[in-house]
Amino acid sequence: MKGLVYGIVGLILLGHSEVVLGQQIAQYSQWSSHQFSLNPAHAGIKSCVDVHTLFRTQWVGFDGAPRTGMFTLSAPLSTKRKRYLSARQGVGLRFESDRIGQFNTNRLNAAYSAHFNFTRDTRLSLGLYGGVIQLGYDPSSSSTINPDPTVLKESSFVVPDATFGAWWNGQNYYAGLVLDHLIASRWKDIGTASKFYFHALLNAGYRVQVNDKFTLIPAVMIKIPSRGPVALDLQLMADLNNQFNFGLGFRNQDCLIFFAGFKINQRLSIQYSFDATLSALRKASSNSHEISLSFNTCRKERSSTSACPLFE
């Protein structure tokens, strides 16, 4: 049964299924807490070193289901400002590993960004990821009725990778744009016309400060693949005293998401999310899990929720 399911997953990918093509880019439920993992414009946006790591196991119990891990590090470049609101710069590094069925994708990118303040509280950031993608395909668990070299041939190759990102934020809101897979490289020895497809992503959020200790942050993300349906993520996060957070999310035609997070101290935090499957896949798997750790070297300046890093 496991080999059959793996084979189905592989054939779907090779046949350009609209559903699976939407996940050529790794999927995260906790995207709003790990913006740099999506958008290179976030490199060095904080005035300190910022480190994030995350592990996701999707559709638990479904053979060949996605398992994803990522690590990011970003930091500002040390420069002397000639003017109070002159531009700043940042750099960063992202490593991501995503396994689904017979496919294993490793992605390594370096990032550069520039941050332009228009006022004390409004900022435009532009960034670029550049690097490589290593894609491996292992057909050992696949089987076909008739021998098919497009399915049963093992392959591993490395291709260039690039992503553009833009970010605009004020004191209580943000909006982001990501153009991913700018280099549409073909897959070597896999299928007959398989390749990496361009994806676009839009996201935005707004902070509602109820009082000095309690904040609500509704957020939305729209993922637009060049082939396949548009995916919509909605979130409502609550932050208590800038130490505890919890919330609900919804991904169209996919799942309902529950979030909970805790700051161990002002520099180290942990977050967990649980996806309750709503789509037809719930017959094979009813849930997905994500856990992440974040660390930064920022100094504590204030204890209220207005210290939310998305808006600094």
E strands, 182-306, are: 199-206, 208-209, 214-225, 231-240, 244-251, 255-263, 268-277, 287-296
Per the model's pLDDT, the better-predicted residue between 94 and 19 turns out to be 94
Q: What is the pLDDT of residues 127-163, one digit of tens each?
A: 999 999 999 988 776 666 666 666 667 788 999 999 9
Residue 285 pLDDT: 79
Q: What is the pLDDT of residues 256-276, one digit of tens each?
A: 999 999 999 889 999 999 999
* Torsion angle of the four alpha carbons 42, 126, 223, 245, in this order, in degrees rounded to the nearest 10: 30
Per the model's pLDDT, the better-predicted residue between 36 and 228 turns out to be 36
Residue 53 pLDDT: 97
Count of residues for the chain?
312
Q: In this predicted structure, which of 4-18, 34-48, 152-166, 184-198 has the lowest mean pLDDT? A: 4-18
Residue 144 pLDDT: 62
Q: Which of 91, 226, 90, 108 has its CA nearest to residue 161?
A: 108
Q: Does residue 305 have a pLDDT over 90?
A: no
Q: Does residue 17 have a pLDDT over 50?
A: no
The single-letter DSSP state of residue 3 is H
Query: What phi and psi values does residue 102 have, to the nearest 5 degrees?
Result: -85, 5
Q: What is the pLDDT of residues 76-133, one digit of tens each?
A: 998 776 666 778 899 999 999 999 888 899 999 999 999 999 988 899 999 999 999 9
Q: Mean pLDDT, the chain, as a whole number?
A: 85
Domains of the chain by range and CATH?
2-311 (2.40.160.40)
